[in-house]
Amino acid sequence: MDIILASASPRRQELLHLIFEDFRCIPADIEEIVPDGMEATCVPEYLACQKALHVSKQYPDALVIGSDTAVICGDEIFGKPVDDADAERMIRALSGKAHYVITGCCIFCNGKSLSFSEKTAVEFYALTDDEIKAYVATGEPKDKAGAYGIQGEGSLLVKGINGDFFNVVGLPVSRLNRELKKFTV
């Protein structure tokens, strides 16, 4: 069976290799527009489904996996920063606080679909402005939800986590593996 990851994320590709040896990556070319009034915690699963649906229409005989990750602190949802100033703003908002990383996943296969989201609590140390600027200067925050990479230098900002580490990286592989067993792969 043709297996497609509807993502260009190198981190998701690396993590999906823990489940599948062979798959293709076909990023979903969609505008990430969310319906008004949608709860922040529902956004990643909604966007994951939009991505998987878009790619599955082009490849109806494939197993397609869509995924989206967001960092949520209070009522604010953090996607990828638009620039260094935005990254500094996000890290400053997370400094000294707990937040949630939610990754939504959606699977389309043989006319069936299944979606879920995984939530991991992450707590940051209280950071100085110099620490924030130095981390942003590494360039690591540029393509990451919440402007940090827990698998890299961003790990130095993290006081602790409760939940799936790989979920924070961008793909809850253990849960995804369990959900995939509901399909004949």
pLDDT digits (tens, 9 = 90+) for 85-136: 999 999 999 999 999 999 999 999 988 999 999 999 999 999 999 999 999 9
- 79: its two tokens: 């996607």
Alpha helices in the chain (DSSP H): 10-16, 43-58, 84-94, 129-137, 165-169, 173-180
Q: How far apart are CA 148 and CA 159, in angstroms?
A: 13
Joined tokens for residue 177: 């593996």
**143 labelled catalytic:** no
Q: Residue 183: which pLDDT band, with cuts at 50, 70 and 90?
A: confident
Of the candidates 22, 61, 68, 75, the residue annotated as catalytic is 68
What's the pLDDT at 15? 97
For residue 173, give the DSSP letter: H
Q: Which amino acid is at 166?
A: F
Please give the full DSSP string across 70-98, using - where no structure is assigned. Answer: EEEETTEEE-S-SSHHHHHHHHHHHTTSE
In the beta sheet, which residues pair with residue 105? Answer: 67, 116
Q: Hey, what domains does the chain have and what are their CATH numbers? A: 3-180 (3.90.950.10)
Q: For residue 32, what pLDDT band results from cuts at 50, 70 and 90? A: confident
For the chain, what percent of residues have pLDDT higher than 70? 99
Q: What is the pLDDT of residues 143-177, one digit of tens each?
A: 899 999 999 999 999 999 999 999 999 999 999 99
* Entry pTM: 0.91
